[in-house]
A and B are shown apart, each in its own frame.
Chain A
Amino acid sequence: MKILVPVKRVIDANVKVRVKSDQSGVELANIKMAMNPFCEIAVEAALRMREAGQADEVIVVSAGVSQCHETLRTGLAMGADRAILIEDDQDLEPLVVAKLLKAVCEREEPGLVLLGKQAIDGDNNQTGQMLSALLGWSNATFASSIEVNDDHFKVTRELDSGLESVTANRPSVITVDLRLNEPRYASLPNIMKAKKKPMDKLTAADLGVDSSPRLQVVKVEEPPARQAGIKVSSAEELVDKLRNEAKVI
């Protein structure tokens, strides 16, 4: 089985994100970027399947600016076999990414696409679901465990209400949650080996996808600062405020 792992280049989780002064987006200049942590978990899951003899090849793929090759190298240094970079300078929306990935899936014919459930920048939680719909493949999201079988996967999903077990037929698109595994570090020898591993470069045009944005960003601003609390004198006043000011009951 071949596993495709899409990975996203995002602002490093330890960096404090700042809004640009013109409110057109967030500040990216001089900011440390890294692989989205959920994507790291997906790479780790794929590598473990290969190490367990359940997969023969792990391909990492990323779409975005040319620096995404650094993110792909990270995946290769963790142990992926090869990489595909879809270079595009535009701000890629989840649907565009899903279309690009669909085209890659048609070329590569993987038995499984493993993605992070969402990326920590946009928090969209859409790409995996859209990809499965476009491909017409089965889909399981928020996986906290994945069992590989000959023609299907048994997936435990993490939901607010508890755990749910589902069966997804092959080929499948599975998105992974935080508790699936703890990703490994790249080792020094693998960092060196990663430089020699193949990385194909494609464009949206090569894949026949129009990558232009369909959504318009009006403005980006910081969330409002949290207001100081007040003391209420009675339960009645509390209920009144919850009902009429906060409008939550």
Chain B
Amino acid sequence: MTKIIDRNNIDFLVFDVFKLRELLGRGRYADHDTESITSVLDLAEQIATNDLWPHLSKSDREEPVLKNGTVRIIDQAISALGVLRDAGFFSARFDTKLGGMQLPVVINNACNGMFKGANIGTMSYMGLTQAAAGLLNTYGTTDLKVRFMMPLLQGKFFGTMCLSEPNVGSSLGDIITKATPQSDGSYFVTGSKMWISGGDHNAAENIIHLVLARTPGSVNGVKGLSLFAVPKIKVNNDGSLGDNNGVSVAGLNHKMGYRGTSNCLLNFGEITDCQGHLVGELGKGLLAMFHMMNESRISVGIGGAMLANVAYRVALNYAKERKQGRKLDDKNSSNKPVAIIEHGDVRRMLMRQKALSEGAVALCLYSGMLVDLEILSADKIERQRYTDMLEVFTPIVKAWSTEFGVQANKLAIQVMGGYGYTRDFPVEQLYRDNRLNMIHEGTNGIQALDLLGRKLVMDEGRALKTFAAEIRADLASLNETTNLRPFIDKLTNILTNVEEWLTQVRSMLQSGEKSGVLTNAMPFLHAFGHLAVGWLWIKQSSIASNLLDKSSPRQSDSFLQGKITTCQYFFEYEIPEAEAWLKVVKTNPGAVLGMAEDSF
């Protein structure tokens, strides 16, 4: 069987490129060492391969069903979630005192990435639960922590995030779900929430919904929103389950992919009273949500990267085995057909998948490292530096990894031709599953607005300055044993160019000229993402060269050589696209904004 998870790549990035070892044994991670981290990654790889991957197709073919008001998912998904729970992955990154193991974020992300790559539809129940627990850990009262968070961490209860409504998606300020205060300090929640992943299922004994709602008399817009913890079944003071809490499933959404994850329209307080508990302060609901949102966005990015990477490995394996046609230079039709990996166009498609998917994995794991570095920083200025970096990287991780992850998924199907388009192979499902990652947790368009309209221009461009300085310093520190100089020069050039243009953007935005420049936010994010990923490819190439020179590296020579050549590909084929887009984004989007609606 093909190994679907590229552990070599994960180990190379985590240990060799990002030097995780320097973080282990320090502060929060005092109890960890390379050996325990390797065991954790081994365990995650085993569960991904043995428990999640085998029911990938089944969970797609047998969608969740709504029967007598409750949603049922397939048994294999329930038992795989049980394996994840028993292994302790629900609480892995949380404090030891909460039963967690204070796993470094980068490793937690790498593990979750393997689970997602193997079966994102099943994994997402755990991802949502981890996010809900994280939010309660930061903003919940002691009572909410005991009542709801601990069972979430133990994997007994699962969690959801309820933001969107039937008529409110990206524009959360228009939310109308109500929360009315009761004499006991709790609230009655009434309203409908749409697109609720994991909104109902039979995989856990209870579900804790985190619901954004509006209290009476609150101001319009996002500042009037508060956050409430709403259990599916009430939890008694002794932790036992009480009555149903008036959350009903009005219907299931039937999606293109991610079909293993139930997706519901939920009604709160429609039939019976629905009790909610305030999380954090009144009017600060969205703020609390966003605290968790950055983490969730990185997590979506990892999904984008890993689904692309797994599809690449399936396509690669196929291309090595499938014999079809002869080399273009071979005119003798009686010669045996060659494996399709020998054809130039197939090689180009495989190369692009490798460059994009491994580039995205690097981007995502690097962001995880930034979170760890931020956590470990004792020094305020140092911590601010990592916070700035994360501000810039988060929208890129989310949008670039998913945008280009899906591009890679498209090519995995193309490499396999008609077979790739059938349900006999997993690549068509991986494509459909990954397509959601461009949409949820803030659409890619929202990410682009966040990057160009906010992150890169705020505080006189402070985060941008940090980003640029970090990249320049790192490039200067790299060992230039290979032919990296032209790539480094090219990248530095683009960086300078972008910095200059962003100074102009800043003054345009300050003078209120927003819509023109922000119309091109998405192509800008593409180009800026290429810049960041180009840097990470140079880094990977340089480190691969260093390891090639050593006598006994962890990785094989062919693996390391692959990194060096793919960096070359990235600068020859991908970076020119970024340069082209940067030219476009500087122009006035006259055609796009100028055409009359009737002419579309």
Which positions in A face B, CB cutoff 8 Å?
Answer: 14, 29-30, 70, 73-74, 77, 185-189, 191-192, 194-195
CA of A148 to CA of B87, assembled, Å: 28
Mark contacts of B27-69 with chain A using CB atoms, 8 A cut-off: 1 yes-contact digit, 0 otherwise. Answer: 0000101011001100100110000000000000000000000
A70-B35, A185-B83, A185-B87 given as contacts; is B554 within 8 A of A191 (CB)? Answer: no
* Tier of interface size on chain B: 20 to 34
Q: Does B286 contact A (CB under 8 A)?
A: no
Main secondary structure, interface of A, reads: helix
Closest Cβ neighbor of B50 among chain A residues: A185
Asked whether B43 lies within 8 Å of A14 as measured between CB atoms, the reply is no
Q: Which residues of A contact B31 (CB under 8 A)?
A: 192, 195
Q: Does B89 contact A (CB under 8 A)?
A: yes
14 A-B pairs within 8 Å (CB atoms) are namely: A29-B552, A73-B35, A77-B39, A186-B39, A186-B87, A187-B86, A187-B87, A187-B88, A188-B43, A191-B40, A192-B31, A192-B36, A194-B39, A195-B35
Asked whether B47 lies within 8 Å of A185 as measured between CB atoms, the reply is yes
Q: Does B576 contact A (CB under 8 A)?
A: no
CA of A188 to CA of B552, assembled, Å: 30
The list of the 7 closest CB pairs from A to B, nearest first, reads A188-B88, A191-B39, A187-B88, A187-B87, A188-B101, A189-B88, A30-B556
Closest Cβ neighbor of B1 among chain A residues: A14
Q: Which residues of B contact A185 (CB under 8 A)?
A: 43, 46-47, 83, 86-87
Q: Does B3 contact A (CB under 8 A)?
A: yes
Q: Which residues of A contact B47 (CB under 8 A)?
A: 185
Q: Which residues of A contact B35 (CB under 8 A)?
A: 70, 73, 195
Closest Cβ neighbor of B92 among chain A residues: A188
Which of the residues A74, A77, A186, A192 comes within 8 Å of B101, measured between beta carbons? A192
Asked whether A188 lies within 8 Å of B40 as measured between CB atoms, the reply is yes
Mark contacts of B193-213 with chain A using CB atoms, 8 A cut-off: 1 yes-contact digit, 0 otherwise. Answer: 000000000000000000000
Further 14 A-B residue pairs, CB within 8 A, beyond A185-B83, A195-B36: A14-B3, A73-B35, A77-B39, A185-B47, A185-B87, A187-B87, A187-B88, A188-B40, A188-B88, A191-B39, A191-B40, A191-B43, A194-B39, A195-B31
Distance from B95 Cβ to chain A, minimum over Cβ atoms (Å): 13
A185-B87, A188-B87, A195-B31 given as contacts; is B40 within 8 A of A30 (CB)? Answer: no
Q: Does B555 contact A (CB under 8 A)?
A: yes
Which of the residues B3, B36, B46, B555 comes within 8 Å of A191, measured between beta carbons? B36
CA of A188 to CA of B33, assembled, Å: 14
Closest Cβ neighbor of B103 among chain A residues: A188
Main secondary structure, interface of B, reads: loop
CA of A29 to CA of B554, assembled, Å: 9
A30-B556, A195-B31 given as contacts; is B39 within 8 A of A189 (CB)? Answer: no
Closest Cβ neighbor of A189 among chain B residues: B88
Closest Cβ neighbor of A77 among chain B residues: B39
Segment 553-599 of B: residues with Cβ below 8 Å from A: 553-556
Distance from A22 Cβ to chain B, minimum over Cβ atoms (Å): 17
Distance from A202 Cβ to chain B, minimum over Cβ atoms (Å): 20
CA of A14 to CA of B8, assembled, Å: 14
Q: Which residues of A contact B554 (CB under 8 A)?
A: 30
Q: Which residues of B contact A73 (CB under 8 A)?
A: 35, 39
Closest Cβ neighbor of B83 among chain A residues: A185
Q: Which residues of B contact A186 (CB under 8 A)?
A: 39, 43, 87
CA of A73 to CA of B31, assembled, Å: 15
Distance from A27 Cβ to chain B, minimum over Cβ atoms (Å): 10
Asked whether B39 lies within 8 Å of A74 as measured between CB atoms, the reply is yes
CA of A186 to CA of B3, assembled, Å: 21
Of the listed residues A29, A188, A194, the one surrounded by the most CB atoms of chain B closer than 10 A to its CB is: A188
CA of A74 to CA of B35, assembled, Å: 10
CA of A34 to CA of B446, assembled, Å: 46
CA of A95 to CA of B3, assembled, Å: 36
Closest Cβ neighbor of A69 among chain B residues: B35
Of the listed residues A14, A29, A189, the one surrounded by the most CB atoms of chain B closer than 10 A to its CB is: A189
Q: Which residues of B contact A195 (CB under 8 A)?
A: 31, 33, 35-36
Closest Cβ neighbor of B87 among chain A residues: A187
Q: Which residues of A contact B103 (CB under 8 A)?
A: 188
CA of A29 to CA of B552, assembled, Å: 8
Q: Which residues of B contact A30 (CB under 8 A)?
A: 552-556
Q: Which residues of A contact B33 (CB under 8 A)?
A: 195
CA of A123 to CA of B270, assembled, Å: 66
CA of A195 to CA of B25, assembled, Å: 13
Q: Which residues of A contact B40 (CB under 8 A)?
A: 188, 191
Q: Which residues of A contact B39 (CB under 8 A)?
A: 73-74, 77, 186, 191, 194
Segment 467-495 of B: residues with Cβ below 8 Å from A: none
Of the listed residues A14, A74, A186, A194, the one surrounded by the most CB atoms of chain B closer than 10 A to its CB is: A186
Mark contacts of B147-171 with chain A using CB atoms, 8 A cut-off: 1 yes-contact digit, 0 otherwise. Answer: 0000000000000000000000000
CA of A187 to CA of B99, assembled, Å: 12
Q: Which residues of B contact A14 (CB under 8 A)?
A: 3
Closest Cβ neighbor of B555 among chain A residues: A30
Closest Cβ neighbor of A14 among chain B residues: B3
Q: Which residues of A contact B556 (CB under 8 A)?
A: 30
CA of A110 to CA of B472, assembled, Å: 62
Asked whether B101 lies within 8 Å of A189 as measured between CB atoms, the reply is yes
Distance from B156 Cβ to chain A, minimum over Cβ atoms (Å): 16
CA of A191 to CA of B111, assembled, Å: 15
Closest Cβ neighbor of A186 among chain B residues: B43
Distance from B545 Cβ to chain A, minimum over Cβ atoms (Å): 17
CA of A209 to CA of B483, assembled, Å: 55
Closest Cβ neighbor of A32 among chain B residues: B7
Distance from B31 Cβ to chain A, minimum over Cβ atoms (Å): 6
Q: Which residues of A contact B88 (CB under 8 A)?
A: 187-189
CA of A189 to CA of B103, assembled, Å: 11
Distance from A26 Cβ to chain B, minimum over Cβ atoms (Å): 15
Q: Which residues of A contact B92 (CB under 8 A)?
A: 188
Distance from A201 Cβ to chain B, minimum over Cβ atoms (Å): 16
Q: Which residues of A contact B87 (CB under 8 A)?
A: 185-188
